């Protein structure tokens, strides 16, 4: 989130809290109050401490008001856990509606910080924004836009952009329209027609109708021209510029090129300048810095004479507003042969919907759809890609039946859905999926039915009742499953794998994504992961990594932080090393390149496909599996 957003959110909340509410003690908040003065002067550390102290001795509603003010101050200090702790002590029922919405705004921000867009939307759902103060309404809509983007709910994202437009300053409206159009162009013609929110000459109806025309008649010039004239008559004075939004290059970019279009990029065999578009602030700052180091290390190792131009891309996560098009044009002005980046998905989407891309782009993120875009290549470390790799690996093991164990959150659902789609396309069967609560520690009630132990116990009870005597009994897990697909972070994986074994998973193979592994040896902790199989990048295996001069240079440069960022360093190195390979790989999908993140190839939609190295935990250490070694299935 940008500093501008932090400041505006703070001002909105602080102003609404300043007014005395009915029933408030006259001494609750006074202009000479030292906490208020500290807050107004920007000393948020003092303000947070003083409001927290005041809340300890105050009765309601002052107690909740002070805790809310403390939460605001902690938010300004980026002390997320303290924000949570302060909000726990706020009782929204004793606050007025304006203050309740302020609580919801903070809760939504916290949820988005945790990549929980559904929770953010749930926090804002109770509030009717129709008569809300303009500043609060603007911030709520920006948060909703971010959440809808994360869940890829393009319909509601478009509707939110429409509602946001009249609240924006003139300099922001053009970018808001650009993002609105991008969302509309992600919908099908049927959805645009069905969910058109009103009738002519309404502004919102005009946007949907124009997008419908482009998507439906864009490849039929004569029909399109007539339909566009009708649209202009039905929607006079509409803010959309038909010439801009109906340009053939733009709408073909928005809906994807036909299969006959070539993916071959502009020739980049002679690279003298490369532009790298990365953020310098915001939530991706640390990741961008690691990627930048990887690019530089690969550049110096290659002894290339090419010039690197690092350009800052600023994207507002609340609205998706971005300067990426301006920086892309800057790259063109610098005579760059190719662009590496951007990193955030919102900026990649903007480039995907641009009128044209004169120079190739190797984006460092992936879009959800498979639309082909001339000169746009997508490369990243998306968890969904790892789920697809697991499905493909399991197929090569001749497995047919899987069960899935995933966390009950949006992250787990995304990975599970990606696995199921690929696994079923491979002809595999999903026997069952269980979702566990990440905040729990004992998963017996989840694992027993997943493994079929409850059914085994029920059969025993039935036999015992018929026989009438106690029988020797040992529950057996279901025998019709070939492997378990586990989705977990390191701590949960170290809890779940032993519990699976306790509940008689036996020798049943368990395969997971790399998210279960921190990326460095820790025998004492990882002994709980024994027999677990994962796919990971070559750079996490010392024997492979030490042969790569780029890896060695990075390791020697920053060993204290290397393990934490090793995968991002590798992403940067591969992005740079892919540049001279793009022509060949894009023309020959069967060709591949051995990189730091895996075996890389490019499919027909311009996505970089990454095949990882497969390994198994043994005595707490991750050991590479021979390429031909199949996983044993327990009898």
Q: What's the pLDDT at 225? A: 86
> Does residue 488 surpass a pLDDT of 90?
yes
Q: What's the pLDDT at 269? A: 58
The strand pair at 533-536 and 608-611 is best described as unpaired
- Is residue 539 within 8 A of residue 555, CB to CB? The reply is no
> Does residue 453 surpass a pLDDT of 80?
no
Q: What's the pLDDT at 376? A: 93
Q: Identify the burial level of 152 via C-beta atoms within 10 angstroms of its C-beta, where 0-12 means exposed, 13-18 middle and 19 or more buried.
A: middle
Report d(CA 196, CA 246) in Å as an integer.
Answer: 19
Provide CB contacts within 8 A for 118, sequence distance 6+. Answer: 111, 147, 151, 410
The mean pLDDT value for 1-8 works out to 45
> Does residue 320 surpass a pLDDT of 50?
yes
> Does residue 10 surpass a pLDDT of 80?
no
Q: What's the pLDDT at 179? A: 81
Q: Identify the burial level of 479 via C-beta atoms within 10 angstroms of its C-beta, where 0-12 means exposed, 13-18 middle and 19 or more buried.
A: exposed
Q: What's the pLDDT at 468? A: 54
Q: What's the pLDDT at 358? A: 86
Q: What is the mean pLDDT of the chain?
A: 82
Report d(CA 613, CA 598) in Å as an integer.
Answer: 7
The mean pLDDT value for 321-343 works out to 89
The mean pLDDT value for 33-39 works out to 78
Q: What's the pLDDT at 218? A: 74
Residue 178, SS3 per DSSP? helix
Q: What's the pLDDT at 314? A: 85
pLDDT digits (tens, 9 = 90+) for 119-128: 999 999 999 9
Work out the pLDDT band at 259, boundaries 50, 70, 90: very low
Nearest 10 degrees: Cα torsion 170, 175, 176, 180: 140
The 3-state secondary structure of 617-635 reads EECCEEEECCCCCCCCCCC
| Torsional sign, CA 497, 501, 503, 509 | positive
The mean pLDDT value for 361-371 works out to 83
111-115, 366-370, 372-376, 590-594 — most confident range: 590-594
pLDDT digits (tens, 9 = 90+) for 599-630: 999 988 899 999 999 999 999 999 999 864 44
Instruction: Go through the chain and tell me how many residues it has.
Output: 635
Sketch out the chain's domains with CATH numbers: 3-151 (1.25.40.10), 184-255 (no CATH), 267-378+545-595 (3.40.50.2300), 384-537+614-624 (3.40.50.2300)
Report d(CA 153, CA 431) in Å as an integer.
Answer: 29
Instruction: List the alpha helices (DSSP H) in 125-274.
Output: 134-151, 154-164, 170-184, 189-194, 203-217, 221-234, 242-245, 248-255
Q: What's the pLDDT at 503? A: 75
Report d(CA 328, CA 196) in Å as an integer.
Answer: 33
How is residue 20 annotated by DSSP? P
Provide CB contacts within 8 A for 32, sequence distance 6+. Answer: none
Lowest mean pLDDT among 92-106, 267-281, 375-389, 594-608: 267-281
> Does residue 24 surpass a pLDDT of 50?
no
Q: What's the pLDDT at 7? A: 44
Work out the pLDDT band at 632, boundaries 50, 70, 90: very low
pLDDT digits (tens, 9 = 90+) for 567-597: 999 999 999 999 988 888 888 878 889 999 9
Lowest mean pLDDT among 101-115, 233-247, 249-263: 249-263
> Does residue 513 surpass a pLDDT of 90?
yes
Between 45 and 570, name the one with better pLDDT.
Answer: 570
| Residue 424: CB atoms within 10 Å | 13
Q: What's the pLDDT at 112? A: 82
> Does residue 480 surpass a pLDDT of 90?
no
Structure tokens at 155: 């319909």
- Is residue 245 within 8 A of residue 210, CB to CB? The reply is yes
Q: What's the pLDDT at 629? A: 47
Whole-angstrom CA distances from 293 to 163, 364, 626 are 41, 14, 32
């Amino acid at each position: 989130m940008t500093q501008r957003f932090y400041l505006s959110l703070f001002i909105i909340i602080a102003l609404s809290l300043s007014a005395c509410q009915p029933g408030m003690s006259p001494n609750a908040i006074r202009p000479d109050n030292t906490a208020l003065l500290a807050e107004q002067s920007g000393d948020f550390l003092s303000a947070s401490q003083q409001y927290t102290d005041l809340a300890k001795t105050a009765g309601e509603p002052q107690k909740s008001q002070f805790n809310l003010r403390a939460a605001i101050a902690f938010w300004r200090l980026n002390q997320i856990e303290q924000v949570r702790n302060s909000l726990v002590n706020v009782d929204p029922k004793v606050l007025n509606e304006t203050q309740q919405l302020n609580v919801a705004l903070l809760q939504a921000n916290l949820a988005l910080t945790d990549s929980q867009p559904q929770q953010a939307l749930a926090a804002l759902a109770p509030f009717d924004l129709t008569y809300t103060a303009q500043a609060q309404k603007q911030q709520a809509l920006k948060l909703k836009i971010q959440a809808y983007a994360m869940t890829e709910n393009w319909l509601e994202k478009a509707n939110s952009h429409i509602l946001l437009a009249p609240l924006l300053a003139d300099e922001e409206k053009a970018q808001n329209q650009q993002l609105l159009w991008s969302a509309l162009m992600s919908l099908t013609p049927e959805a645009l027609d069905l969910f058109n929110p009103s009738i002519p000459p309404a502004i919102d109806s005009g946007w949907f109708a124009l997008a419908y025309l482009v998507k439906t008649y864009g490849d039929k010039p004569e029909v399109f021209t007539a339909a566009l004239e009708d649209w202009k008559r039905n929607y006079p004075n509409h803010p959309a510029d038909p010439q801009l939004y109906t340009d053939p290059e733009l709408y073909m970019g928005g809906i994807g090129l036909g299969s006959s279009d070539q993916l071959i990029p502009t020739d980049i065999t002679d690279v003298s300048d490369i532009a790298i578009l990365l953020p310098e602030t915001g939530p991706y700052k640390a990741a961008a810095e690691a990627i930048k180091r990887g690019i530089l290390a690969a550049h110096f190792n290659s002894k290339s004479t090419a010039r690197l131009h690092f350009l800052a891309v600023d994207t507002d996560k609340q609205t998706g507003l971005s300067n990426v098009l301006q920086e892309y044009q800057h790259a063109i002005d610098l005579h760059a042969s190719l662009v590496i980046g951007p990193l955030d998905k919102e900026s990649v989407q903007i480039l995907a919907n641009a009128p044209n891309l004169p120079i190739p782009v190797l984006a460092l993120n992936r879009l959800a759809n498979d639309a082909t875009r001339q000169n746009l290549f997508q490369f990243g470390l998306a968890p969904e890609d790892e789920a697809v790799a697991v499905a493909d690996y399991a197929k090569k093991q001749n497995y047919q039946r899987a069960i899935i164990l995933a966390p009950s959150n949006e992250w787990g659902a995304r990975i599970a859905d990606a696995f199921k789609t690929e696994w079923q396309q491979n002809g595999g069967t999903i026997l069952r999926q269980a979702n566990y609560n990440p905040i729990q520690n004992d998963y017996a009630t989840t694992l027993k039915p997943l493994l079929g132990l409850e059914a085994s116990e029920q059969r025993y009870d039935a036999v015992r009742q018929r026989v009438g005597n106690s029988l020797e009994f040992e529950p057996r897990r279901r025998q019709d499953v070939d492997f378990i697909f586990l989705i977990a972070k390191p701590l949960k994986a170290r809890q779940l794998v032993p519990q699976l074994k306790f509940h008689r998973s036996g020798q049943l193979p368990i395969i997971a994504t790399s998210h279960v592994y921190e990326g460095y040896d820790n025998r004492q902790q990882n002994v709980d992961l024994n027999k677990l199989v994962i796919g990971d990048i070559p750079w996490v295996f010392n024997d492979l990594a030490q042969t790569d001069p780029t890896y060695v240079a990075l390791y020697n440069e920053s060993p204290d932080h290397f393990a934490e960022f090793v995968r991002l360093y590798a992403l940067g190195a591969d992005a740079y090393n892919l540049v001279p390979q793009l022509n060949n790989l894009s023309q020959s999908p069967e060709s591949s390149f051995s990189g730091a993140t895996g075996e890389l190839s490019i499919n027909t939609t311009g996505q970089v496909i990454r095949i990882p190295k497969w390994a198994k935990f043994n005595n707490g250490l991750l050991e590479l599996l021979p390429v031909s070694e199949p996983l044993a299935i327990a009898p």
